[in-house]
């Protein structure tokens, strides 16, 4: 969801920067990039664990980040074409939402999309033990959909998401909302698109089979 359906990644990053900054902590861009697509409960302890903070201090900063995010989330925008694509896909395929987001943030994102409840399966952080790049989130979705990995396309914006999709043996579609084509290709994406309109055109043309192949790569 984050970075694919709603453009929330910049807000999550800003909320972390503001929360950390209140405690005098400034992290390089590379740290934030490395953790995109992963839940706060995992990444914030990893980000701050080597800085000598106690578990209680880390918990407090995580809570502060959530407070700040909720104050600025009204700035969140829908990724262009995302809502239309989901409704179009729903009429043709079984679809799942597989996200590392909390149930609360997932609900906020779906309300922004204003598309009702189109997903056959929903997986969020409450059902996960291992975050991306571990494939668990997609494996749960596959099990609930009763589908084989080779019959599933996963649309991802982050390198961690692409790695997780490939580890689940699914077809990994990289959409360039967060990372550029070269970065998604290096992570192992089978296909890279610039927009949902491009992806829909590819699916409608039936020019690609539902199986991973680098021959189908678009950059």
Q: 101 and 69 in one domain?
A: no
Residues 66 and 122 grouped into a single domain: no
53 and 26 within one domain? yes
**Does 112 share its domain with 205?**
yes
In this prediction, residue 155 carries a pLDDT of 98
Length of the chain: 219
Single residue among 55, 75, 95 that ends a domain in this structure:
75
102-153 pLDDT, tens digit each: 999 999 999 999 999 999 999 999 998 998 999 999 999 999 999 999 999 9
Distance CA 58, CA 45 (A): 6
In a domain, 1, yes or no: no
Q: What CA–CA distances, in Å, run from 121 to 20, 60, 99, 166?
A: 35, 33, 11, 20
pTM of the predicted structure, to 2 decimals: 0.85
Question: Do residues 158 and 85 share a domain?
Answer: yes
Is it the case that residue 191 has pLDDT exceeding 80? yes
Query: 186 and 158, same structural domain?
Result: yes
> How many domains would you assign to the chain?
2
Is pLDDT at 197 greater than 90 in this prediction? yes
Helix ranges restricted to H, 49-191: 55-72, 82-90, 103-113, 136-145, 159-167, 181-187
* Residues 96 and 57 both lie in one domain: no
Q: How far apart are CA 48 and CA 109, in angstroms?
A: 27
* 29-75 pLDDT tens trace: 888 888 887 888 888 998 887 788 899 999 999 999 999 999 999 99
Are 204 and 119 in a shared domain?
yes
| 141 and 199 share one domain | yes
Q: Residue 137 is part of which domain span? A: 77-216
Tell me, what CATH number does 37's domain have? 1.10.150
In this prediction, residue 207 has a pLDDT band, given cuts at 50, 70 and 90, of low
85 shares a domain with 27: no
**Is residue 169 one of the residues assigned to a domain?**
yes
For residue 152, the domain's CATH number is 3.40.50.1000
Query: Are residues 42 and 90 located together in one domain of the fold?
Result: no
Residue 215: pLDDT above 90? Answer: no
């Amino acid at each position: 969801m984050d970075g694919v359906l709603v453009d929330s990644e910049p807000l999550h990053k800003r909320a972390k920067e503001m929360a950390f900054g209140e405690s005098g902590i400034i992290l390089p861009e590379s740290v934030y990039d490395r953790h995109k697509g992963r839940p706060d409960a995992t990444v914030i302890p990893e980000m701050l664990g080597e800085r000598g903070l106690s578990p209680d201090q880390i918990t407090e900063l995580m809570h502060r980040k959530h407070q700040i995010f909720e104050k600025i989330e009204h700035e969140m925008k829908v990724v262009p074409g995302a809502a239309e694509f989901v409704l179009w896909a729903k009429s043709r395929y079984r679809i799942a939402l597989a996200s590392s987001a909390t149930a609360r943030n997932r609900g906020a994102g779906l309300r922004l999309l204003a598309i009702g409840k189109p997903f056959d399966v929903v997986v969020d952080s409450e059902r996960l033990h291992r975050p991306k790049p571990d494939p668990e989130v997609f494996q749960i979705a596959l099990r609930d959909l009763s589908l084989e990995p080779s019959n599933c396309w996963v649309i991802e914006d982050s390198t961690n998401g692409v790695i997780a999709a490939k580890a689940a043996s699914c077809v990994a579609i990289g959409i360039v909302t967060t990372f550029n084509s070269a970065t998604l290709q290096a992570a192992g994406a089978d296909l890279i698109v610039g927009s949902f309109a491009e992806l829909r055109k590819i699916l409608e043309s039936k020019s690609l089979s539902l199986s991973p192949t680098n021959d189908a790569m678009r950059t």
